[in-house]
């Protein structure tokens, strides 16, 4: 009984999570039902069962089960939770025994206490022979388990024969589960190409969109199902159609191309470009080349290492795809219209510097990127690399070693080491924000002018005071960085004894700071 409760009850029925644009399909248990199952276990009597036939099938004792059937044992006598011998035959994928039980009068549509039917298990196993028999003996083709109708289950597991059988029996092709997802969405996400084709031919709604903005096409793109993606495009979908989510985290304006890039499916993304995807689409606010910067190097975690890029799929890596984007007409010096602080007018090269991605910076320069294009506030790529705009130093991409390498490269490209942005900040302020003592020393060695960088920004903090914790978003001093500043300043005959500003509350100051930046 214990095994049945945890294998046939609804926790086995997964639901696609649609709120995450770059996350994979997740199978999430229903906690409430699991707790119910545990409670049932406590209530089950340990005495001899009153359903010997069901027990025999549960334990795969076919000889006993057949003997009981010959003795005219009641095929519908359930176990304590309503599970019958037919349930168990379907669960164990035993079509032959299932047919024998049906001939002996087993009810094809019987449900146990948790709503599980034999049809559900047969669809889960893709057992067309048993599905046909169950339908012939009166099972409802639109049977559902917690909103997951049989057609959705079969589309998820991918049995072409089962899907065809259910459709011939009158199953509703556009039936929705409790998350409003359809059979086509399930099949597309799982990459079941032949099922997708059958559903399309049978009239499935290829444009059905969830509140999260996901469609069958975007489910297929997110999972990297290239053949399914092109089957849907061939059915009449527009490769440049943008998502219009009402809630969730999928950016408004996302297209198959941008979603493929976000999830690291570069071979698929290339095929979308070849199918006519716009390489300069900015309806999310960012072009594909801009997006590539944070896909290659996501923000770091709480430790010294950056988070890994998405697993992705295909045989093409991200640098190769950057080349492909440019070959298909991507504008290498395109500027952003918005974004986070210090990002307005930022080019793909600027964002590559922001993530300390030397390889991408070099690739973009090879394709004509201008490294001297600054953000609209005057922030240079060198400032972006050293840490300007960082609120939490360890939660942004780029290790100190990587940033040092990028700084060397940028200075070779003659980026002005003494540039000051509209916030009164320099590359040295950036090194203070990101707690980079070695970068502080390096910038000084490269003749960063102390008279320029040892000044207060608009918040009233010098680089030394930023390192001491007088900054938004982080009130913890970095003593190692403070020491580096003291040593550098001492070499210029300066003692960092400036009076600190009042502690900065990032929440109360945010609105006024944003307003001053806009001005």
Q: For residue 209, give both structure tokens.
A: 């969109």
What confidence tier does 146 reach under pLDDT thresholds 50, 70, 90?
Answer: confident
Domain endpoint, select from 107, 128, 152 = 152
Q: DSSP for 146-192, please give it.
A: TTEEHHHHHHHHT-HHHHHHHHHTT--TT-B-TTS-BHHHHHHHHT-
Of 417, 498, 489, the closest CA to residue 460 belongs to 498
> Mean per-residue pLDDT for 392-406?
85
What confidence tier does 72 reach under pLDDT thresholds 50, 70, 90?
Answer: very high
**d(C-alpha 153, C-alpha 210), whole Å:** 19
pLDDT at 510 over 60: no
- Give me the CATH number covering residue 147: 1.25.40.20
pLDDT at 422 over 70: yes
Instruction: Give me the pLDDT at residue 40, please.
Output: 43
Q: Render pLDDT for 174-223 as a digit per residue (tens, 0 to 9).
A: 999 999 999 999 999 999 999 999 999 999 999 999 999 999 999 999 99
Instruction: Give me the pLDDT at residue 505, please.
Output: 57
pLDDT at 46 over 80: no
What confidence tier does 260 reach under pLDDT thresholds 50, 70, 90?
Answer: very high
Q: Mean of the per-residue pLDDT values for the chain?
A: 88
Q: Is 347 domain-assigned?
A: yes
**d(C-alpha 470, C-alpha 504), whole Å:** 7
Q: Render pLDDT for 82-108 as a digit per residue (tens, 0 to 9).
A: 999 999 999 999 999 999 999 999 999
Instruction: Give me the pLDDT at residue 95, please.
Output: 97
Instruction: Give me the pLDDT at residue 302, please.
Output: 53
Instruction: Give me the pLDDT at residue 393, please.
Output: 59
Instruction: Give me the pLDDT at residue 474, please.
Output: 58
How much of the chain, in percent, has pLDDT values that exceed 90?
Answer: 79
**β partners of residue 300:** 306
What confidence tier does 341 reach under pLDDT thresholds 50, 70, 90?
Answer: confident
Most confident of 68-77, 394-403, 501-510: 68-77
Is residue 275 within 8 Å of residue 230, measured between CB atoms? yes
**d(C-alpha 398, C-alpha 71), whole Å:** 74
What confidence tier does 142 reach under pLDDT thresholds 50, 70, 90?
Answer: very high
**d(C-alpha 435, C-alpha 1), whole Å:** 58
Of 256, 257, 245, the closest CA to residue 289 belongs to 257
Of 377, 375, 386, the closest CA to residue 347 belongs to 375
Q: Is 206 domain-assigned?
A: no
**CA 202 → CA 131, 163, 166, 186, 466, distances in Å?**
19, 11, 12, 16, 64
Region of residue 346 (phi > 0: left; psi between -120 and 50: alpha; otherwise: beta) = beta
Q: Is 285 domain-assigned?
A: no
Q: Is 372 domain-assigned?
A: yes
Q: 465 or 46: which carries more pLDDT confidence? A: 465
Q: Is 92 domain-assigned?
A: yes
> Mean per-residue pLDDT for 326-335?
98
Residue 111 per-residue DSSP state:
B
Q: 233 or 396: which carries more pLDDT confidence? A: 233
Q: Is 459 domain-assigned?
A: yes
Q: Helix %, strand %, coil % for the chain, to 5?
A: 45, 0, 50
> Mean per-residue pLDDT for 156-171?
97
Q: Is 48 domain-assigned?
A: no
Q: Render pLDDT for 440-499 as a digit per residue (tens, 0 to 9).
A: 999 999 999 999 999 999 999 999 999 999 988 757 899 999 999 999 999 999 999 999
> Mean per-residue pLDDT for 337-359?
94
Q: Render pLDDT for 18-34 as a digit per residue (tens, 0 to 9).
A: 333 333 233 333 444 44
What confidence tier does 517 reach under pLDDT thresholds 50, 70, 90?
Answer: very low
Neighbours of 339 (CB within 10 A): 15
What are the phi and psi torsion angles at 144 (to 5°)? Answer: -130, 155
Q: Render pLDDT for 184-197 as a digit per residue (tens, 0 to 9).
A: 999 999 999 999 99
Q: What are the residue ranges of helices labelled H in 427-478? A: 427-433, 437-445, 450-453, 463-467
Q: Is 473 domain-assigned?
A: yes
Q: For residue 107, give both structure tokens.
A: 């009810």
**d(C-alpha 447, C-alpha 139), whole Å:** 82
Of 111, 175, 193, 96, the closest CA to residue 166 belongs to 175
| Number of domains present in the structure of the chain | 2
Q: Render pLDDT for 112-140 as a digit per residue (tens, 0 to 9).
A: 999 999 999 999 999 999 999 999 999 99
Domain endpoint, select from 136, 152, 168 = 152
Instruction: Give me the pLDDT at residue 287, please.
Output: 97
Instruction: Give me the pLDDT at residue 431, please.
Output: 96
- The parent domain of residue 107 ranges over 1-41+53-152
Domain endpoint, select from 99, 130, 152 = 152
Taking each helix axis from N to C end, the angle separating 95-103 and 128-136, rounded to the nearest 10 degrees, works out to 10
Convert 416-434 into a string of H (helix), E (strand) and C (coil): CCCCCCCCCCCHHHHHHHC
Taking each helix axis from N to C end, the angle separating 160-168 and 193-201, rounded to the nearest 10 degrees, works out to 20
How much of the chain, in percent, has pLDDT values that exceed 70?
Answer: 85
Is residue 303 within 8 Å of residue 310, measured between CB atoms? no
């Amino acid at each position: 009984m214990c095994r049945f409760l945890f294998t046939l009850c609804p926790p086995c029925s997964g639901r696609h999570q649609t709120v995450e644009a770059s996350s994979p399909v997740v199978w999430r248990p229903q906690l409430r039902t699991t707790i119910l199952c545990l409670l049932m276990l406590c209530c089950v009597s340990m005495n001899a069962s009153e359903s010997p036939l069901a027990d025999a099938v549960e334990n795969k004792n076919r000889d006993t089960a057949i003997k009981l059937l010959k003795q005219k044992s009641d095929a519908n006598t359930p176990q304590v939770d309503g599970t019958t011998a037919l349930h168990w035959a379907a669960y164990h994928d035993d079509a032959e025994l299932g047919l024998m039980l049906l001939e002996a009068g087993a009810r094809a549509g019987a449900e146990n206490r948790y709503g599980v039917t034999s049809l559900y298990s047969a669809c889960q196993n893709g057992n067309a022979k048993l599905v046909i028999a169950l339908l012939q003996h009166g099972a409802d083709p639109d049977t559902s388990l917690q909103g997951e109708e049989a057609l959705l289950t079969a589309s998820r597991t991918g049995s072409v024969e089962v899907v065809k059988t259910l459709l011939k029996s009158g199953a509703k092709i556009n039936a929705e589960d409790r998350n409003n997802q359809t059979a086509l969405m399930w099949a597309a996400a799982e990459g079941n190409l032949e099922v997708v084709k059958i559903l399309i031919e049978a009239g499935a709604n290829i444009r059905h969109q969830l509140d999260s903005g996901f469609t069958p096409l975007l489910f297929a793109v997110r999972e990297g199902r290239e053949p399914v993606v092109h089957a849907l495009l061939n059915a009449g979908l527009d490769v440049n159609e943008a998502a219009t989510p009402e809630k969730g985290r999928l950016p408004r304006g996302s297209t198959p191309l941008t979603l493929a890039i976000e999830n690291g499916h570069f071979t698929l993304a290339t095929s979308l470009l070849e199918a006519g995807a716009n390489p300069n689409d900015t309806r999310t606010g960012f072009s594909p080349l801009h997006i590539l910067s944070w896909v290659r190097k996501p923000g770091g975690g709480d430790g010294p290492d950056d988070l890994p890029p998405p697993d992705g799929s295909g045989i093409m890596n991200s640098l190769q795809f950057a080349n492909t984007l440019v070959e298909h007409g991507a504008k290498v010096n395109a500027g952003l219209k918005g974004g986070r602080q210090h990002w307005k007018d930022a080019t793909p090269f600027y964002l590559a510097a922001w993530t300390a991605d030397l390889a991408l910076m070099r690739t973009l320069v090879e394709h004509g990127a201008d490294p001297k294009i600054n953000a609209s506030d005057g922030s240079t790529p060198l400032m972006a690399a050293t840490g300007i705009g960082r609120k939490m130093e360890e939660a942004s991409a780029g290790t100190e070693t990587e940033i040092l390498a990028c700084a060397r490269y940028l200075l070779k490209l003659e980026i002005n080491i003494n540039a000051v942005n509209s916030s009164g900040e320099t590359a040295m302020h950036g090194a203070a924000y990101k707690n980079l003592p070695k970068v502080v020393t390096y910038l000084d060695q490269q003749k960063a002018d102390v008279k320029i960088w040892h000044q207060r920004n608009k918040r009233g903090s010098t680089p030394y005071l930023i390192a001491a914790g007088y900054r938004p978003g982080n009130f913890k001093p970095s003593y190692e960085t403070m020491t580096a500043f003291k040593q550098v300043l001492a070499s210029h005959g300066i003692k960092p004894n400036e009076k600190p500003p009042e502690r900065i509350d990032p929440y109360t100051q945010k609105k006024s700071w944003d307003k001053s930046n806009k001005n």
